[in-house]
Structure 1
């Protein structure tokens, strides 16, 4: 099964898909005139400050809570194990390609959130539902509904794997290895906590995420910054490694004889998508619930999530692996410190932190893995439930909740050797219909953006000056 999945992924993540993914981001960057760079400060301002114009507008949660719920799904073990996997398989150059995916992906994420707001619908419970399936069907036309159904199907299914059992499996391993807690005990605890939160609906999930995500992100980044401070003399050389091996094969000195540029690109792109989800359409599944006076405002807020995850969190992980020498079996080109080549990706990151901070460092990563994984379980429930709702309606949501909680428990006690490979496949199968939808609706994105910055934005700035 693993070999079959790997062969499928070689096709799905081959040149055509990479061109579609990066090409869409570049195309939108051009159409939007580099909006993700020029408007980034304004986007952060919208994300982390209250805008009185949004008071009284329709929606279920604030811009901030929508962003935190989205980050709950993004800031997960992909930022720990995913980055380590990308670097060990693709070399330091993979980090560069993660940056590229993140930067151009900000434009893609912007478009996804804007279209989500534009084509959202109100369900029978009075809450908004949004996502690629809605902007494909309502924006392009009903003849494209099979594409919308395909996205919803793979989204609902992927949530059980990539967003749930993969995370609970990683949490169980960490709890066993670091704290001697059995998988069965971890499973029971996760089932109880997950049930208490997801059965409370979107409001409870977003409230938990609003507190949970900022705290755990600051906790992890602080630990990474301490390590970088202790190894400050190796930071510039680490960046040199990243840029050097992004464009040329890595030498055998680092134990990667035969690695070629395509491996750096493939691993950087696929793991970059796994960590920031730009192009998957997941942000569109929560963005439509935001209370905001214009679709562009929530779109700007949503794109900051990609910046936070890729440019900040993933970079921190990558740099720690490089400056400590924990990126290949001989200790890399910087430290010369050897380590156990059999360590898996998550353990590798933990060992890297421990090499500078001792047992405390390893425990900090272990705790981060647990909290990152749990937040991802909550965030991906929102994604999966929205897809399931589109396919089967609200009447059967109880069934999906039970299945979701069951997948959480199974992940803690089962050996999921093929799940990571399945995660890559599911990501691609979500990505393709979503990107097709965005490309066919690019004029809507461009027109809404022009409308806001040509009129609404200027009106707001005029009021402030007055």
Structure 2
């Protein structure tokens, strides 16, 4: 059995190393296409996007299950998680400070990508027999490109069954509890069982319960994390200017990256940004497509805020906090263990442990609660929407397994699935970009007319 597991781990690692360049080309190349195609127009309506979130445009008697705010909160709950606390630490260890710059670039490009892909998710969504909205890249492909493209939609849904597993979150949450609470490695299975039980109470309640919980958790966790990290940065304020200089200088040298290659550095930043905000991967369109609206562009603008909050704000705060302590250069740890060491090196004795555990619990559970919905939609597409709910049981069981495996295996597995999911998501987005451009032109013209009247 051990030999079989080792063989599987090596095979997935080899596959991940070969396909990750596909992720780089698709996400950066496709995102640049969306930026140029849109002429940066969506960025001019940032304030309008925030007004949409306030509920000004909410309507009850329109298709959908979630309000604009709940849809964004649920999407962010799925992305603002362990990737922001642990994933950033991994990026710094593997790629050095310069990887953060490429995470920023990827996030800015990702904002344009989310505008297009999430607008399309509303534009081409379907309804189940019970009248609930079904959306995502697979529905965009079949309804937008036609039934002859269905194999591509099936390809996305199959990859999505793996990519939407809670492997990274469950793994790193378990590791946090082991590090802080001094559990043994042999206790990881029991920790996984407890996490699975807690998660089941929320996800078995369906999308509306997920949206309700996420809308309460997300604003609280982002504000709390901002306060905590800001405290660390104030204590280390003299080092912050030098950190920014180091990020920019290392971004183009590649000296700090493993192997010293600039291409490797860029790839590391893009992969970790994709893990963080998932722009172009195809998960967020499944959530944003459930918004109560008849205006696809309106939800596209809301979705655009995701990478800004997730990567430009939360990931940057984590990176600055870790780099200001200097633990990256003096530790052999990675992931959540490195973040924990960084917080403990600045905050008074014991407070770092408490702070990280609280934040990890909030971030991790928000992801665990929200992420299952994506797998439900994927399975529902492959079978029938009514059968999608059975994915939840597979999802709950995978939490226990993920708690016990190595972090390297988890990263390679999810990175590989994300790369495969990006292929149909970005391809359909580019092919249907003209539809979004046309709809956006009409929407913005009408917006200005209403504003002037």
Say yes or no: TM over 0.5: yes
Quote the residue 1:171 is aligned against: 173
Whether contact under 8 Å (2:98, 2:254) holds in the other structure is no
Quote the residue 1:38 is aligned against: 44
Quote the residue 2:303 is aligned against: 302
Shift of 1:185: 4.2
Quote the residue 1:7 is aligned against: 14
Structure 1 residue 354 and structure 2 residue 344: aligned? Answer: yes
Quote the residue 2:368 is aligned against: 377
Among 72, 86, 91, the alignment partner of 1:81 is 86
Whether contact under 8 Å (1:97, 1:268) holds in the other structure is yes
Q: Cα deviations across residues 31-60 of structure 1 (Å, max 9, x unaligned)?
A: 11113432222212222x111463432221
Quote the residue 2:236 is aligned against: 231
Shift of 1:98: 0.2
Counterparts of 1:220 and 1:324, CA distance in 2: 17
Q: Cα deviations across residues 107-159 of structure 1 (Å, max 9, x unaligned)?
A: 00111110000001111222100000011111111111110000011112222
Among 157, 165, 171, the alignment partner of 1:152 is 157
Task: Compute the TM-score of the two structures, normalised by the length of structure 1.
Answer: 0.91
Counterparts of 2:344 and 2:219, CA distance in 1: 23
Quote the residue 1:210 is aligned against: 215
Structure 1 residue 107 and structure 2 residue 112: aligned? Answer: yes
Whether contact under 8 Å (1:74, 1:309) holds in the other structure is yes
Q: Cα deviations across residues 343-400 of structure 1 (Å, max 9, x unaligned)?
A: 1221101111111113212321222222212211122111111111100113433432
Quote the residue 2:146 is aligned against: 141
Quote the residue 2:286 is aligned against: 285
Distance 1:416 1:111, change over 3 A: same
Counterparts of 2:42 and 2:104, CA distance in 1: 14
Counterparts of 1:419 and 1:19, CA distance in 2: 23
Structure 1 residue 436 and structure 2 residue 427: aligned? Answer: yes
Whether contact under 8 Å (2:26, 2:422) holds in the other structure is no
Whether contact under 8 Å (2:23, 2:271) holds in the other structure is no
Aligned to 2:403, the other structure's residue is in SS state helix
Unmatched segments (≥5 aa) in structure 2:
1-7
Whether contact under 8 Å (1:171, 1:370) holds in the other structure is yes
Counterparts of 2:82 and 2:89, CA distance in 1: 10
Quote the residue 2:445 is aligned against: 454
Whether contact under 8 Å (1:97, 1:269) holds in the other structure is yes
Whether contact under 8 Å (1:195, 1:405) holds in the other structure is yes
Superposed counterparts of 1:318-329, under 5 Å: 318-329=319-330
Quote the residue 2:3 is aligned against: none
Aligned residues: 442
Aligned to 2:306, the other structure's residue is in SS state helix
Unmatched segments (≥5 aa) in structure 1:
330-339
Shift of 1:414: 4.5
Structure 1 residue 317 and structure 2 residue 311: aligned? Answer: no
Task: Compute the TM-score of the two structures, normalised by the length of structure 2.
Answer: 0.93
Quote the residue 1:196 is aligned against: 201
Whether contact under 8 Å (1:212, 1:375) holds in the other structure is yes
Quote the residue 2:62 is aligned against: 57
Whether contact under 8 Å (2:113, 2:279) holds in the other structure is yes
Quote the residue 2:276 is aligned against: 275
Counterparts of 1:397 and 1:111, CA distance in 2: 26
